[in-house]
């Protein structure tokens, strides 16, 4: 496993980024691409865009993917097996991993994008450099939506509902005003559109 090439995708509302890394032991990028998600064209179109990206990576690297890892908005609900809470709403309600495995013919592992960001920073990014002894790391994404990922001793905490670390609808300040979730002053309303991310030790 340590020496296999790693194929990974980041699926967002506007673009899909793909990369091939040399191996887990040597995580240098061999090639990377970016294509539009075109989520407005529907769920099956996104499946097609993922297949197209995988083919681009395979052709450019000359390597055969054994499996595919994907960071995506929302969560694969551990109880129902379908995506929920994705702001790319066409993904919601679908067994995205199963549909991709049928199309691609290889195992597909999904993870929430904020969790991917948090664990990457915790293990290979800012944390080892700045706070090598940090045991609990909370990664924060403030973008089109607000996300968060919680990593304890190097492992992502997902929780029973798959939404641990999702702090977007926690109350922060009344100045945020009413939120689409029905509450008011949510983190999501206060930070919407700020477009930055950070890591904190908690």
Q: Does 103 bind Zn ion (CB under 5 A)?
A: no
Q: Does 181 bind Zn ion (CB under 5 A)?
A: yes
**CB closer to Zn ion out of 11 and 187:** 187
Environment class of 196 (CB within 10 Å of its CB; exposed 0-12, middle 13-18, buried 19+)? exposed
Choose the stretch contacting Zn ion; rule: CB under 5 A; options: 54-62, 86-94, 127-135, 180-188.
180-188
Choose the stretch contacting Zn ion; rule: CB under 5 A; options: 46-54, 74-82, 152-160, 184-192.
184-192
> What is the distance in angstroms between the CA of the first residue and the CA of the last residue of the chain?
32
Q: Does 190 bind Zn ion (CB under 5 A)?
A: no
Interface pattern 138-177 for Zn ion (x via CB under 5 A): -------------------------------x--------
Choose the stretch contacting Zn ion; rule: CB under 5 A; options: 2-10, 62-70, 145-153, 182-190.
182-190
Q: Answer yes or no: are the C-beta atoms of 13 and 144 closer than 8 Å.
A: yes
**CB closer to Zn ion out of 49 and 112:** 112
Cα 83 from Cα 80, distance rounded (Å): 8
Whole-Å CA distances, 61 to 50, 74, 117, 178: 16, 29, 24, 48
- List contacts with Zn ion (CB under 5 A): 169, 179, 181, 183, 186
């Amino acid at each position: 496993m340590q020496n296999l090439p790693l194929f990974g995708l980041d699926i967002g509302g506007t673009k899909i980024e793909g990369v091939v890394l040399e191996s887990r032991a040597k995580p240098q990028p061999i090639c990377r691409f970016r294509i539009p998600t075109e989520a407005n064209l529907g769920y099956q179109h996104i499946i097609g865009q993922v297949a197209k990206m995988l083919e681009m990576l395979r052709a450019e690297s000359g390597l055969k993917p054994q499996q595919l890892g994907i960071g995506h908005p929302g969560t694969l609900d551990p109880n129902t097996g379908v995506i929920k809470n994705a702001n790319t709403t066409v993904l919601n309600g679908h067994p995205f991993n199963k549909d991709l495995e049928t199309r691609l013919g290889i195992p597909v592992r999904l993870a929430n994008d904020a969790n991917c960001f948090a664990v990457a920073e915790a293990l290979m990014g800012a944390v080892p450099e700045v706070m090598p002894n940090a045991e609990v790391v909370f990664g924060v994404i403030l973008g089109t939506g607000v996300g968060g990922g919680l990593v304890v001793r190097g492992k992502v905490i997902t929780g029973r509902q798959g939404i641990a670390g999702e702090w977007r609808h926690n109350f922060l300040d009344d100045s945020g005003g009413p939120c689409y979730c029905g509450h008011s002053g949510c983190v999501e309303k206060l930070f919407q559109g700020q477009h930055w991310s950070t890591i904190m030790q908690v």
